[in-house]
Amino acid sequence: MKQPDVLFINGPNLNLLGKREPQIYGSGSYKDLCAFIDGFCGGAPHRIFQSNSEGDIIDEIQAAPGRADGIVINPAAYTHTSIAIADALRAVGIPYVEVHLTDPFSREPYRRISYVSDRALAVVTGLGFEGYRKAYGILTDSLAKGAARPADTAESSEPEDRND
């Protein structure tokens, strides 16, 4: 069977990993995280995307149908604020797993809400980099068992690049 193509999305400030607050987020850099992801994906197709901009993350999610079979997303602080990112994930209908380096739900009260959790296949928290491997395993196992893929959820074949 074809190996699933997985899109990893990392939200704002994760590019600072290793440079600030190592006591919270660990000492590994963002480059180290990308190398870790590349390592456990082996030869399987994947793409890693990071942005500090909510709109760019939404554009990446909207571009995913036809390119990715599943998404592993750490929306970072947008987890707790962005109905727009949650709407984009819901709109494209691609299976996704939410991952966090820390356990935001046991931190400050303002981190206890996630707008993306309710539709996630799973939410992986508190495992540092290892959480990405766990999230990838959950996602790929679920895809192998037939979790909905973009083609399965598409309701029409209307042109996609119109703005009207």
Binding mask 78-97 toward ligand CA2 (x if CB under 6 A, else -) reads -x------------------
Angle, vertex CA 54, rays to CA 48 and CA 57, nearest 5: 30
Instruction: Dig out the tokens for 43 from the structure.
Output: 């030869």
Q: Is 21 in the site for ligand CA2 (CB under 6 A)?
A: yes
Question: Which of 9, 101 has the CB closer to ligand CA2?
Answer: 101
Contacts of 65 (CB under 8 A, 6+ apart): 92, 93, 94, 150, 154, 160
The SS3 assignment for 133 reads helix
Q: Is 120 in the site for ligand CA2 (CB under 6 A)?
A: no
Give the shortest CB-121-to-ligand CA2 separation in angstroms: 17
Instruction: Choose, from 46, 78, 96, 100, the residue flagged as catalytic.
Output: 100
Closest CA relative to residue 73, chosen from 31, 20, 136, 118: 136
Q: Is 111 in the site for ligand CA2 (CB under 6 A)?
A: yes
Which residue is it, tokens 């899109």? 7
Q: Is 101 in the site for ligand CA2 (CB under 6 A)?
A: yes
Binding site for ligand CA2 (CB under 6 A): 13-14, 16-17, 20-21, 25, 74, 76-77, 79, 100-102, 104, 111
